[in-house]
Chains A and B, each alone.
Chain A
Amino acid sequence: MRQERLSLVLSVGLLAGLAVVPLVTAANTVLNFLVFAMILALAAHGWNLLAGYAGQFSFGHAAFFGVGAYGGALLQMRAGINPWVAFLGGIMLAGIVGAVIGALSFRADLRGSYFSLVTLAFAEVLRILVNATPATGGAAGLLIPLDVRFANFQFASRAAFYWIALALVALVTLLMLVIENTRFGAYLTAIRENEDAARALGVDVFAEKIKAMTLSAAITGAAGGLYAQYFLYLDANIGFGPWISIEALVAPIIGGLGTAAGPLVGALALQMLGEMSKTVAGRIPGIDLVLFGLLLVLVIAFMRRGVVGQLQRLAMARGGA
């Protein structure tokens, strides 16, 4: 089975399975877990587009997560814009910030680890700025006023919010599957594999990278916006801290880099692992991060193409090529 087919089957199966969970259980812990996994999957999808498909490894996707989260929150709190519209505004802002950071780094022809370091720097600068600026709530953070109404993007039932998050993940997965079959997708993989060869074939490498960066930032921004609406609280470390940059990249690497199903598979796996490590290891702070690190090392050592790549190999070994 080709990777694209496997990704399609896997995604449809997982998403359908996930969609019925609230019908089976109303347990808050389960829904909390899943909402968080969806937010993570969305952030991971954004990162995967840029790194998995286009080969540009960002270490600072927190910048876009934060802009999406803070953008949406500030637009509704300070400008009085409807939260749904503010959510879209946050996504657009994240896309713009992505385009600007992309233009600056790619214009300077930063590649490989230099690009990673610059994105990390941008995220850190934003984190420090937001932490120091009174308008963004400073170190105390932002509390979005509780006002549970559908029009406010706040729901009495966790399931409703979960379904919206799930629908967004489904939408983005579909978008990735479509991109894989377009010229844009082919150009991104060409850039990943060899930039000079792509240029020789008429690919405007700079423009394609900017497009990828913008879209990637917007998707990760959507994850930030969802986070803000769900938890109704933000501070600079949540919005712009390295944790989300790391989780957004670990999930697709574990799930399957450059595959449409990878981010969701990886996000679920990571979340499960995190929960398990918390119950097993008790209350040692950061133990789940230690486990993430260990898992990452194991995946890179033994499963270089992630869960999806491994499943594909198994499928081929069974003669289902």
Chain B
Amino acid sequence: MLETHALTKHFGGLRAVDGATLSVEAGTITGLIGPNGAGKTTLFAMISGFEEPTSGTVTFAGEDVTRESAHKRARRGIARTFQIVRPFAGLTVRQNIAVGAYLRHPSRTDALRKAEEVAQQVGLAPQIDRPASELTVAGRKRLELARALAIEPKLLLLDEVLAGLNPSEIRDMLPVLRSVRDGGITILMVEHVMQAIMSLCDVVHVLAQGVMIAQGTPDEIARDPRVIEAYLGAGAAKRLEAARAHA
């Protein structure tokens, strides 16, 4: 469904992302993890068209979209959410979602009906006529998700959609994400909440300092010494190993 090849982004002298190659299979939930500052958000921005890569390619459904603008990629079926939520604060929840729904439903009646349907799906139905500015953090995260779903995407890019939620809010959100996948939408998610990564993802890619260092199932990743070192520092894997041997 999605492939990036040797994707690289330089900001001045900084290599935010350096030769990132990854592929996302249709129908999966694929995770993208990595320590803070690893370049995950930049990678997302290049996939969704918000940043132009210095070099490398992005291929979506077999077509090269590397230089295509963000709105055209959205029309192709790549939806994204923002790590820092961006609700249309002056509009109601329904109107917010409808902006997304208008992409496939030019008529207002259809767009509003679709918006209601999506609100139902993500659990925002009770707040549908409230202004978006009145939503809680959890509500705003759901709204980000709802708007992205309203464009009826093939691929959904979730940028830390669980960050800032408390454990019970996270528990409520997991089945929503699963239902999205079961509805036929492929998901690529950046996430720090490991509990979610472990329980949701089919495949996980690990990015550290702009470089892809590992990929595999969540279990494989959790045992991978390179990943442990990326998070906990050089030598950490050995020390853990030693500690386990002692125990």
Contacts and interface: CB of A to CB of B under 8 A. Distances in A.
A43 interface: no
Contacts, number: 74
Given A186-B102, A201-B99, A194 B86 contact: yes
Interface stretch (A202-210, A263-271, A312-320): A202-210
A193 interface: yes
B113 to A, nearest CB: 14
A204 B73 CA distance: 11
A189 B88 contact: yes
B5 interface: no
Given A186-B95, A186-B99, A196-B50, A201 B151 contact: yes
A181 B70 CA distance: 25
B102 A187 contact: yes
A183 B100 CA distance: 10
B79 A189 contact: no
Nearest to A204: B71
Interface in A124-181: 181
Nearest to B102: A183
A12 interface: no
Contacts of A200: 48, 50, 70, 74, 79-82, 148
B151 A193 contact: no
Interface residues of B, number: 30
A182 interface: yes
A202 B75 contact: yes
Interface string B135-165: 0000000000001101100000000000000
A244 interface: no
B61 interface: no
A190 B88 contact: yes
A201 B99 CA distance: 7
A245 to B, nearest CB: 25
A204 B102 CA distance: 12
B82 A197 contact: yes
A102 to B, nearest CB: 17
B90 A202 contact: no
Contacts of A204: 71
Contacts of A190: 88, 91, 99
A5 interface: no
Contacts of A183: 102, 106, 108, 111
B79 A182 contact: no
A204 to B, nearest CB: 5
B222 interface: no
A182 B99 CA distance: 10
B89 interface: yes
A202 B71 contact: yes
A205 B88 contact: no
A182 B111 CA distance: 10
Most buried by B among A199, A204, A205: A199
B151 A202 contact: yes
Interface string B57-100: 00000000000011100110001111000111111000100111
A235 B140 CA distance: 53
A77 interface: no
B118 to A, nearest CB: 12
A273 interface: no
B103 interface: yes
Given A187-B102, A193-B89, 14 more contacts: A183-B108, A183-B111, A186-B108, A189-B90, A189-B91, A189-B99, A193-B88, A194-B87, A197-B87, A200-B48, A200-B70, A201-B148, A201-B151, A202-B75
Interface of A: 181-183, 186-187, 189-190, 192-194, 196-205
17 contacts: A186-B99, A187-B99, A189-B91, A189-B95, A190-B88, A192-B90, A193-B89, A194-B87, A197-B86, A199-B50, A199-B71, A200-B70, A200-B80, A201-B103, A202-B74, A202-B100, A202-B103
